[in-house]
Amino acid sequence: MADFKVTHLDADLDFDSLPYWDVVIIGAGPGGLAASLTTAHRGLTTLVIEAKDKPGGQPQFLYADKRIVDIPGFPDGVTGEELSERTYRQAVDALVQFRFHEELKAIEETEQVEHEDQLKEVITNNGSYLCRKVIMACGLLHFPRRLPVLDALESKKVFYKMPRIGDYEGQRVVVVGGGDSALDAAVMVLERGGQVDVLVREETPVGKADTLQRIEETGGGVHTSTEIERAEFSGDQLALKLTNGESLLCDAAVVQIGFLSAKDTFERLGVRLNDDGSIAIDAYYETSRHGIFAVGDVHGDIKLITVAWAEGIQAAIYAFKEITSPYWLNEKRLRDHKITMIGEKITQAAAAQKAATKKR
């Protein structure tokens, strides 16, 4: 049984004239979209801020054409693009508002209080927004690492995400990187009649062994302990000189060498971080700053779409309860803390009794 009744926001609501938002969500990936649906369906005005030009997060950015097979309800799999479009359409239908091409810079406390909530000001590179609650769902890794030797070409043949099928079908492609994303990209080229060379800086690729085997068995070349030393144009192709002395001609290059961490952004927010640079949260997905929640890759060890969905929904419900029942979460925290303390005392007493018994 649902824990709420879907509340439809007024379609005539002038969102541009709102004095403040109930919830601002940072990131339009799986976790952010799930959170936005949950808050909007509970009648909260919801704004999603996304640094990229479209929603979807990593499923859209990294593997738009790849079929994802581990999501319940899609027995034949679903592409990252289709999944992103479906979820985004749901959010738009629920009157969630979006701002694209906006990168988070800071979240400041204000002196303004509305319904017992001290409003926060979310500051981006393009403006600022007052709100009651914030949900961080921007991912632990923000932007792809660049390869200067290829960037110097300023070529549309260099990609930092898997290009559309029509951009590489039947062509010769160089994939730079040895992780799962790079190996998956190589497989996709081969499946569409293309030729592929994978350039791996390390001695051994770190991606899945069965994917690597598949590449080699279907005619893909894997060059380990090598990097691109020089790059230039040769007609319509890219001419690459490798550090191992080899030369390659290709129609396109796909770079998959990891992402830059969002740790610097997190540090600016003044929230407590874990040792690995991710955001520390409590049992209710709230950070060390009251009213700021965090879901998905920003804190989690299990980086799955379904996990991000679940966490986005839970954090949204906790934010909703804080807004509609201001004392609910604090009272629940206090009760849980007391239960924890009782458990610790029982454990300590049992340990002391065991030690005393041994001495007899």
User: pLDDT 10s digit of each residue in the chain, 360 long?
Assistant: 455 567 788 888 999 999 999 999 999 999 999 999 999 999 999 999 998 888 988 787 767 777 888 888 889 889 888 999 999 999 999 999 999 999 899 999 999 998 888 999 999 999 999 999 999 998 766 678 889 999 999 999 999 877 776 677 788 999 999 998 899 889 989 988 899 999 999 999 999 999 999 999 999 999 999 999 999 999 999 999 999 999 999 999 999 998 776 777 888 899 999 888 889 999 899 999 999 999 998 886 778 889 999 999 999 999 999 898 766 556 666 566 556 566 666 777 666 777 666 666
CATH class given for the domain over 146-257: alpha beta
pLDDT in the model for residue 339: 61
- Which structure tokens are listed for 36? 């936005």
CA 247 – CA 224 distance, rounded (Å): 14
For domain 15-143+260-334, the CATH architecture is 3-Layer(bba) Sandwich (3.50)
CA terminus-to-terminus distance, the chain? 56
What interhelical angle do 30-40 and 305-324 show, nearest 10? 30
Give the 3-state secondary structure of residue 284: coil
Q: What is the CA radius of gyration of the chain?
A: 24
pLDDT in the model for residue 48: 98
Query: Quick one: which of 66, 107, 31 has its CA closest to 289?
Result: 107
CA 84 – CA 1 distance, rounded (Å): 27
Q: How far is CA 110 from the centre of its chain?
A: 28
CA 177 – CA 281 distance, rounded (Å): 32
Residue 46 near residue 155 (C-beta atoms within 8 A): no
- Which structure tokens are listed for 78? 């679903």
User: Is there a common fold for 15-143+260-334 and 146-257?
Assistant: yes
β-pair partners for 198: 175, 222
Residue 225 near residue 200 (C-beta atoms within 8 A): yes
Is the pTM value of this prediction over 0.75? no
β-pair partners for 223: 199
Phi first, then psi, for residue 314 (nearest 5°) are -65, -45
Question: How do the domains of the chain map onto residue ranges?
Answer: 15-143+260-334, 146-257
β-pair partners for 33: none
pLDDT in the model for residue 329: 58
Residue 207 near residue 183 (C-beta atoms within 8 A): yes
CA 184 – CA 66 distance, rounded (Å): 9
Q: Name residue, tokens 């979820």.
A: 87
Give strand ranges (E) for the chain. Answer: 21-26, 46-49, 67-68, 78-79, 97-99, 104-114, 117-124, 128-136, 141-144, 158-159, 172-176, 195-199, 221-223, 228-234, 237-242, 247-250, 252-255, 259-261, 292-294
Give the type of residue at 344: E
Give the type of residue at 10: D
Residue 184 near residue 211 (C-beta atoms within 8 A): yes
